[in-house]
Amino acid sequence: TEGLFGRFLYLQSLFHRLMTEANKSHPSKEIRRPTMFVALLPMIAMLFFVGVGFPILKLPIPIILLLPSVVAAIVAYYLGYTWSDLQKAISDKIGQSTGALLVLVSVGMLIGSWMISGTLPMMIYYGIQIIDTRVLYLSAFLATAIVSVLSGTSYGAVGTIGVVVMSIAATLQMSLPITAGAVVAGAYFGDKLSPLSDTTVLAAAITNTDIYEHIRHMLWTTVPASLLGMAVYLIAGFNSSQEAVSSELVSTMMTQFNQIYHWNILLLLPLVIVMVGSAMKYPTAPLMFVSSVVACLLAIFIQGFSFNDVCTACANGFNVNMVHKAGFDAAAASSAVVRLLNRGGMSSMMGILLITYCAFVFGGIVSCTGCLEVMLEKLQTKVKTDAGIISSTVAASLLMSVIGGVSYLSIIVTAELFGDVYKARGLASCNLSRTLEDSGTVVTALIPWTGGAAYMAATLGVATIDYLPWAIMNYTGFMFAIFYAVTGISIKKIRS
């Protein structure tokens, strides 16, 4: 991330010098309104670089976002804008989202502190034990959903409890595609609804939506889609074997968890602070900071970690190598335990902060030049209803997912394209943030050439095309979003 950021600063400095010289040559250039063709050029460049840069050239996402920003800047210069105009537009864009960006950093600190205190591990420890092999497919969804909600990571949930469930399914000679589909759906359930998930925070941040309002609004689509999937899993597993199977992996994980942490009811206090504080509508970032401080104190006085370890966990994330307790050898720790526990820290959010910053560069320039305004005016002449706008958002998000294969890009680009349209029609930003996740975050796991799908297939040992039909929540969420748009159910308006 530091290397990428350094390259970004270099490109920014170079571009600044070029634009400064250009401004000297054309100090009084008249500003023109872009034609539809000119307005489309930055978006065409974005689609091109997303479609070619990530899947073919394997370019880093920040660079993929900066390249079309250069095209947008050239368009801006052609229209008569100076570098000062663009710099102010970018600064304004970033300034509007300062609160949301602070939440991103706070989430990283929260995860690190909750990991070292034992708050998250204790919830995962008891959550893992609810697996009921008599209804394996349903249990696969529920157990993975619980772990992903508590940890905020679909990858971690699949790489730990998902692997456990797959091993049980193989032992019982049950359907691996159905089990894998249930695991993927459960993992992305948490990736959508957990306040610790980076995509959840990003969707809320990029649309300037309160994260808890965003999560509450997503329940309208995620819950029915999940219930539909759960009904299918229950029916599919109704005649399956009820034989109980012990898992060596689960046993190993439980043993090592017990060696690392001391369980205490007080470990739930950081969670209670966040839940009660959010219910009372306290500001998110300060609330997370207070919860993190309490978690740090628990890590020191209950778990016995040093002050330096606690600070390191908050800044760079927890690591099992910090554990120096009798009976536990960090070098011999299970890979599943390491994958689940070694995470968090403010530095873990620097990558997504860089991506967001680069996205604001593109969004600021396009907004400043009026390109978005021209495109949105054209869109508004063609799309006259809330249903049309939300359906267009779904289509654009799916297209970005297929082309780019990265949920971050799908969320960011689609949000920049449609944000003003929602405002113009009086639609609350939570409608946009929900639709972005319904059609962006969860769909990438179903597209074989994406990194998410490749990880799921490799980890679970089932091809994407085989588990796809059974990951029901992943492809029915946006269907419910369109249904609500047509009927007007759950569509929230901006309060006048």
Does position 480 have pLDDT exceeding 90, yes or no?
A: yes
More confident residue, 468 or 385: 468
Tell me, what's the pLDDT at 244? Answer: 44
Does position 467 have pLDDT exceeding 80, yes or no?
A: yes
Tell me, what's the pLDDT at 245? Answer: 45
Mind listing the pLDDT tens digit for each residue in 60-90? Answer: 878 888 888 899 999 999 998 988 888 888 8
Tell me, what's the pLDDT at 382? Answer: 78
Residue 1 pLDDT level (bands cut at 50, 70, 90)? very low
Does position 22 have pLDDT exceeding 70, yes or no?
A: no
Residue 319 pLDDT level (bands cut at 50, 70, 90)? very high
More confident residue, 161 or 203: 203
> In sequence order, which residues have a C-beta less than 8 Å from that of residue 154 and are 6 or more positions away?
148, 184, 187, 188, 190, 191, 197, 445, 452
More confident residue, 375 or 267: 267
Highest mean pLDDT among 127-136, 328-337, 393-402, 484-493: 484-493
Residues above pLDDT 70, as percent of the chain: 88
pTM of the model: 0.68
Burial (CB count within 10 angstroms: exposed 0-12, middle 13-18, buried 19+), residue 19: buried
Task: State the average pLDDT over residues 256-271.
Answer: 92
Two tokens at 158? 């699949």
Angle among Cα 120, 124, 126 to the nearest 5 degrees reads 125
User: Alpha carbon 150 to chain centroid distance?
Assistant: 14
Backbone phi and psi for residue 153, each to the nearest 5 degrees, phi listed first? -135, 125
Cβ–Cβ < 8 Å for 353, 63: no
Task: State the average pLDDT over residues 234-238.
Answer: 88
Residue 297 pLDDT level (bands cut at 50, 70, 90)? very high
172-183 burial, b if ≥16 CB within 10 A, otherwise e?
Answer: bebbbbbbbbbb
Does position 178 have pLDDT exceeding 90, yes or no?
A: yes
Tell me, what's the pLDDT at 18? Answer: 58
